[in-house]
Amino acid sequence: MAQGYFYCGKKEDTATFNYFFRTNPFKGGFTVFAGLQDLLKMISEFTFNKSDIQYLEKQGFRKEFLEYLAGFRLSGDILSAREGEIMFPNEPVLQVEGNVIECQLIESVLLNILNFESLIATKAFRIKLVANGKIFSDFGLRRAQGLGSLHASRAAFIGGASSTSNVMAGKIFGIPVSGTQAHSWIQSFDSELEAFRAYAQAHPDNSILLVDTYDTLRSGLPNAITVAHELEQKGKRLLAIRLDSGDLAYLSKKARKMLDDAGLQHVKIVASNQLNEHVIKSLLKDQNAAIDAFGVGTELITGKNDAALDGVYKLSGINEQPKMKFSENIEKVTLPCKKQVYRCYDNHGMFYRDAILLANENPEKAETICDAFHPERKTIISELKKEPLLHTVIKNGEIISETYSLEDIHKYLLTRASLLPDEHKRFISPHIYKVGISEKLLETRNALVKSLE
């Protein structure tokens, strides 16, 4: 397509593209936007080197176009919601404005990064919502989707994971790393007790003993208690035991009692084994499991069951002309023009509606918004406090946005999520957060529809 634009007289055209998604992942009521800083970094490094050009030449691309690619860099603007923002279906999360070829060339990688990190950050935050103040760690590397594991660990931390078992991700992104022993450690010694002792000696300050290799309650716990007492005699404390199979609710309560009876109230209980937000919620809220921390692997790091966020990147204007896509599926019809999204607050200062306006519209003059597909459903927004969500992050190809630490992004998420009413956060049939479009945007879209009929 890029070569097509280059040769058909459109290489100087300017375009506007919007990134948005159509449904919240996990049948939930919100999406955590993540991946922005990785995207900006990727765009700043997006070039075609000699070997790329040679490869493309072999694929049949033409000389002048390849010369253009060899000098490629993005020269346009990008507006975006802040990383860690709570976003909703069908509203622009990010807007790219610039040369049509440039806009087109970054499409796939933009979608790849933002869809994936938003998926995982949302999953992690759903776990955080039910973890009841307990910490959880990303244990997912061994089941992650290849190298996707790296950015998944980053997104999981933004969403609320306290650490990762992926040491490479820890190194690259500065995420705290944490590990624990595997069954192979226990098995490699002649006895479980000997294995626990050796581990406690190697890690006297932060041992977590895995107690289910042979028999959790009859072997693992008694041996862990023995080692905990031995540590105490050296002035050290066993950090925790870990349960990795069986009924975690039952075993954790039994284990807590055994530890307490042995005077080991300070020894924590960590649980792992195919956990997700639903299992953790059930363990903590329905069954009062005595679990202090969770290791969450596969489902967190792959965003199961969805495995993908359905974000798309759609043309909404070319050379200042509004553009939209029709479709057999009504929900796939897009919104034309450069736009801005305003978050409208209710009287209690909570998120109430999002309003999509034309970029050049004065939000103070927008009296009502309506549903994009059912325009008879209106909301009056004139009296509401409004806050623009899209900010310029790249101007003329240069990154102008501040760089935030992952901790800052996570804290921003927490602040924003605290303003989202609880009914949007529940897992089953969450209340749908309303996103409307302004009268002017509706008129522009209707006129465009008419002109195309």
> Within 167-206, which residues bind its own copies (CB under 8 A)?
167, 170-171, 177, 179, 181-185, 187-188, 198-199, 201-203
Give which of 341, 357, 438, 338 is closest to 389, Cα–Cα.
341
In the bound complex, what is the minimum distance in angstroms from residue 415's beta carbon to its own copies?
26
Tell me the CA distances in angstroms from 59 to 52, 159, 295, one per residue in order.
Answer: 11, 41, 46
User: Is 111 a residue that touches its own copies (CB under 8 A)?
Assistant: yes
Site for its own copies in 31-70 (CB under 8 A): 51-52, 55-56, 59
Residue closer to its own copies (CB basis): 312 or 419: 312
User: Is 285 a residue that touches its own copies (CB under 8 A)?
Assistant: no
Residue closer to its own copies (CB basis): 131 or 150: 150
Give which of 353, 420, 339 is closest to 386, Cα–Cα.
353
Residue 309: partners with Cβ closer than 8 Å, 6 or more residues away: 21, 25, 31, 114, 115, 116, 118, 119, 122, 303
User: Is 393 a residue that touches its own copies (CB under 8 A)?
Assistant: no
In the bound complex, what is the minimum distance in angstroms from residue 141's beta carbon to its own copies?
5
| CA terminus-to-terminus distance, the chain | 26
User: Is 410 a residue that touches its own copies (CB under 8 A)?
Assistant: no
Phi–psi pair at 422, nearest 5 degrees: -60, -30
User: Is 83 a residue that touches its own copies (CB under 8 A)?
Assistant: no
User: Is 304 a residue that touches its own copies (CB under 8 A)?
Assistant: yes
Phi–psi pair at 196, nearest 5 degrees: -65, -45
User: Is 326 a residue that touches its own copies (CB under 8 A)?
Assistant: yes
Helices 36-44 and 107-130 cross at an angle (nearest 10°) of 160
In the bound complex, what is the minimum distance in angstroms from residue 378's beta carbon to its own copies?
28
In the bound complex, what is the minimum distance in angstroms from residue 228's beta carbon to its own copies?
17
User: Is 1 a residue that touches its own copies (CB under 8 A)?
Assistant: yes
Phi–psi pair at 32, nearest 5 degrees: -90, 120
Q: Omega of the bond prior to 305 within 30 degrees of 0, cis? A: yes
Candidates 104-112, 127-135, 362-370, 435-443; binding stretch for its own copies (CB under 8 A) = 104-112
Please identify which residue in the block is written with the tokens 């075609």. Answer: 48
User: Is 216 a residue that touches its own copies (CB under 8 A)?
Assistant: yes
User: Is 104 a residue that touches its own copies (CB under 8 A)?
Assistant: yes
Among 13, 230, 292, 408, binds its own copies (CB under 8 A): 13
How big is the site for its own copies, counted in residues (CB under 8 A)? 88
Q: 330: alpha, beta or left, given left = phi > 0 and alpha = psi -120 to 50?
A: alpha
Residue closer to its own copies (CB basis): 62 or 285: 62
In the bound complex, what is the minimum distance in angstroms from residue 359's beta carbon to its own copies?
18
Among 96, 127, 130, 150, binds its own copies (CB under 8 A): 150
User: Is 151 a residue that touches its own copies (CB under 8 A)?
Assistant: yes
Candidates 121-129, 225-233, 317-325, 355-363; binding stretch for its own copies (CB under 8 A) = 317-325
Indicate the residue type of 167.
Answer: V
Give which of 145, 94, 86 is closest to 116, Cα–Cα.
145
User: Is 373 a residue that touches its own copies (CB under 8 A)?
Assistant: no
Residue 347: partners with Cβ closer than 8 Å, 6 or more residues away: none
